[in-house]
Amino acid sequence: MLLNVHGVNNVRHTEMLTAEPLMPESSACEVEMAIEKLKGHKSKGIDQIPAELIKAGCRTIRAEICKLFNCIWNKVELSEEWKESVIVPV
C-alpha cells in the first residue's frame, strides 16, 4: 500500500511491486517497545480497547499482538475497520 499518493483517486488499485519485502516482520521486542510507548488516559479507538489494557497485558497477549501485526503485514492489506477513525469534538 502506498501512502501520500497524489493524483490517485483509489489507492487500493495502485500497486508497488518489489523483488523483496520493504521491511522485515516486527519482532516481539519491537512490539513490546511500541506498547510501552502507548500513552494512557486517552480516548479509546473504534475497537474500544484502552491503551492501559494493552499495556497491562501479559507476555502471551503481547505475543499474539505481534502475530496479528505480522499477519496483517504479510497480507499487505488492512481490514476496513482499521481504516476507520472516530473524531470526538471537545
Distance CA 71, CA 78 (A): 10
Number of structural domains found in the chain: 1
Confirm whether 78 is domain-assigned: yes
Whether 7 maps to a domain, the answer reads no
Q: Is residue 29 part of a domain?
A: yes
The rounded distance, in Å, linking the Cα atoms of 30 and 63 is 11
Rounded to whole angstroms, the Cα distance separating 64 from 62 reads: 5
Residue 59 counted as domain residue:
yes
- Identify whether 77 is part of a domain: yes
What confidence score (pLDDT) does residue 10 get? 56
Tens of pLDDT along the chain (90 residues)? 445 555 555 555 555 555 555 667 788 888 889 888 988 888 887 788 898 988 898 888 888 989 988 888 888 777 787 777 777 677
Question: Distance between CA 43 and CA 51 in Å, rounded?
Answer: 9
Domain assignment of residue 60, yes or no: yes
pTM score, whole prediction: 0.55
